[in-house]
Amino acid sequence: MKRRDEVLVGILVTVALAIGIGGTLWLARKGFGSTYPLHARFTWGAGLKNGQPVLLAGLHVGTVSEIEFNQSGWLDVTMDIEEERKIPEGTTATVAQLSLFGDKAIALTPTTPTTSMIPAGDTVPTGRATPTLDDMMFRVDSLMRGVSDVTEKIEFEFVEGGGIADMRRTMASANRLVNQLADVAAVQSRNLTQTMASVRQTLGAVDSSVVDSTLRNMRTTSENMTVLTGNLKGTMQRLDSVAAQLENGNGSAGKLLNDPALYDNARALLARMDSLMADLKRNPKKYINLKIF
């Protein structure tokens, strides 16, 4: 009886283990359906393990089934993809971090929509891996070291080097300059106000009637100048007409100016008169015979 109980317990434990292992495999592989292999190559230190999930655009499509360590610096990874899941051409494979605890997965990312699919047994090209938590912490540490160095230099320059005192002196000088500029602006404002008041006073003292009378006188003078200009223009036109007639020989004056014979006769007459006057002066008795009783 005791022997039979032990056998029953062993059978039950074996069945429980088989159910547990089968359930684990079913959960890991999302069932016992058929799959087809795809390959990818990653660098050392990718942190991949067998059984890790394979995601296509965030959807679980397979698991990592085998990892071979390549001495040339690569990890040759085999992925079991569910038969009903097809991977489009142009898809890239990267190692993605699932949680802060170091869980990894292979992320398959399609580039463009296409009807062409990667055949079974082919290799999926790898893309740029997403930064891990360690990478981010390393970058944060580097950034913090840089910030610490800058803080130390600022402290040295401003505290130990007297930079704060120089800054305070500069601010005080700037405040004095601002006050001086404010005083200058106030003085200029007062001067401008006085100038504007003087201009208003001067403009107010001008008699509008005097201005109107002056404008009327200027208008009358302008009209008189217009009449005078017209008279002068008429006189010049008449002089031009007289000059034209003289040049053409019209009238006595024109004939006198344009007849050379008349000019010569006039000169001869004048010469004879000069000779007669000279003879009269020399021999007055010849021309004047005056007898007195």
101-123 average pLDDT score:
86
CB 54 within 8 A of CB 9: no
| pLDDT value, residue 293 | 41
* CA-derived radius of gyration, the chain: 64
Predicted confidence band at 148 (pLDDT cuts at 50, 70, 90)?
Answer: confident
pLDDT tens-digit map of 71-110: 888 889 999 999 888 999 989 998 888 777 767 889 998 8
Strand ranges of the sheet holding 92-97, from the earlier edge strand across to the other edge: 35-43, 74-82, 59-70, 53-56, 104-109, 92-97
Per-residue pLDDT at 167 exceeds 80: no
Per-residue pLDDT at 195 exceeds 80: yes
Predicted confidence band at 131 (pLDDT cuts at 50, 70, 90)?
Answer: low
pLDDT tens-digit map of 174-192: 888 888 888 888 888 888 8
pLDDT tens-digit map of 206-220: 566 666 777 777 788
Per-residue pLDDT at 257 exceeds 90: no
| pLDDT value, residue 46 | 78
| pLDDT value, residue 194 | 84
pLDDT tens-digit map of 25-73: 555 555 556 889 999 988 887 778 888 899 998 889 999 999 898 888 8
| pLDDT value, residue 155 | 67
Per-residue pLDDT at 14 exceeds 70: yes
Cα–chain center distance at 90: 41
| pLDDT value, residue 1 | 59
45 CB burial (10 A radius; 0-12, 13-18, 19+)? exposed
Share of the chain above pLDDT 70, in %: 70
pLDDT tens-digit map of 149-159: 777 777 666 66
261-286 average pLDDT score:
71
Average pLDDT over the chain, rounded to an integer: 76
Residue of higher predicted confidence among 207 and 244? 244
CB 118 within 8 A of CB 35: no
Entry pTM: 0.38
